[in-house]
């Protein structure tokens, strides 16, 4: 696999709860992170004193963040409303030459900024809120 174009890493939001996904407008940078907590089951009987982890245990989570230019399009409005309503609709993350991750996320933060001689920008943070599905390309 060769180098990938960063603009192909997309965050999409379900616009109406019926699977109509649209790319969140104005994003310039995106990031997705997957995490799995480990459960330490090391005891005095652990071979050689090595740490042991319980397979399949622990909490899995994913977080998404992005930043970009505020455009006030329908996806901006939808994302803002999701924050204020505190609901967890489906989002998709398209990872180039890897696949698509889809599932419920909560908008945990939105930050708007602007300078006197520049464009209005925003930052967005999402946290997984249930089981995620991965579809390989």
- What is the four-CA torsion angle of 79, 83, 85, 86, rounded to 10 degrees? 120
Average pLDDT value over all residues in the chain: 92
The dihedral built from the CA positions of residue 61, 81, 78 and 15, taken in this order, carries a sign that is positive
Please give the pLDDT value at position 121.
92
Contacts 24+ apart (CB under 8 A), 83-88: 83/107, 83/109, 83/110, 88/129, 88/130
CA dihedral 73, 78, 80, 85 (to 10 degrees): 160
The yes or no reply on domain 6-136 and CATH 3.30.70 is no
Q: pLDDT by residue (tens digit) across 19-73?
A: 999 999 899 999 999 999 999 999 999 999 899 999 988 999 999 999 999 887 8
pTM across the whole model: 0.86
Q: Where are the domains of the chain?
A: 6-136
């Amino acid at each position: 696999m060769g180098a990938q174009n960063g603009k192909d890493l997309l965050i999409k939001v379900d616009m109406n709860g019926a699977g109509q996904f649209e790319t969140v407008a104005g994003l310039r940078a995106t990031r997705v992170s997957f995490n799995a907590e480990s459960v330490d089951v090391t005891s005095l009987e652990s071979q050689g004193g090595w740490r042991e982890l319980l397979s399949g245990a622990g909490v899995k989570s994913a977080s998404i963040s992005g930043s970009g230019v505020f455009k006030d399009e329908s996806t901006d409005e939808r994302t803002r409303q999701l924050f204020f309503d505190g609901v967890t609709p489906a989002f998709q993350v398209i990872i180039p030459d890897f696949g698509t991750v889809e599932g419920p996320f909560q908008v945990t933060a939105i930050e708007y900024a602007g300078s006197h001689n520049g464009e209005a920008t925003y930052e967005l943070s999402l946290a997984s809120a249930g089981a995620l599905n991965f579809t390989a390309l």
